[in-house]
Amino acid sequence: MANMAEKANTKTTKQKAQNVPNGKVYVNATFNNTLITVTDDVGNSIASGSSGRAGFKGTRKATPYAATTAVESAIKKAKDEFGVKSVDVFIKGPGPGRDAALRAIKSLGLRMNMIADVTPMPYNGPRAKKKRRA
């Protein structure tokens, strides 16, 4: 019984921010929004941002400027708290924030080791229409 009381009183402490010199940046550029996630090498998320979180609403979320603002906030957090210096960039989607996100990462002084387009492409595409009768 005493062990359970001791366990209840112990608090879990938040892990200290460790130094993560190399990271990965995932940019998901849709037609309506741009989502950014910064992770360490293993894939644990250390910072994230979006056009909506940057304060844009409606159609203004889908602009390159909104994507730039979102990337800046996420990257600044990753640099300040975790010391990220170089990143691999993975871009997914057809949205207008694709190029703007790359420019923002470059302007913030991060070294880009790799840029990869991971937009899913279908091998067969959707099911074909039924054949026309003669």
Q: Where are the domains of the chain?
A: 22-117
Is the model's pLDDT at 109 over the cut of 70?
yes
Is the model's pLDDT at 13 over the cut of 70?
no
What's the fold here for domain 22-117? Nucleotidyltransferase; domain 5 (3.30.420)
| Average pLDDT across the chain, whole number | 87
pTM (predicted TM-score): 0.79
Question: Rounded mean pLDDT of 91-120?
Answer: 92
pLDDT band (50, 70, 90) for residue 122? confident
Question: Rounded mean pLDDT of 94-98?
Answer: 90
CB neighbour burial string for 5-31, b if at least 16 within 10 angstroms, e if fewer = eeeeeeeeeeeeeeebeebbbbbbbbe
pLDDT for res 17: 57
pLDDT for res 15: 54
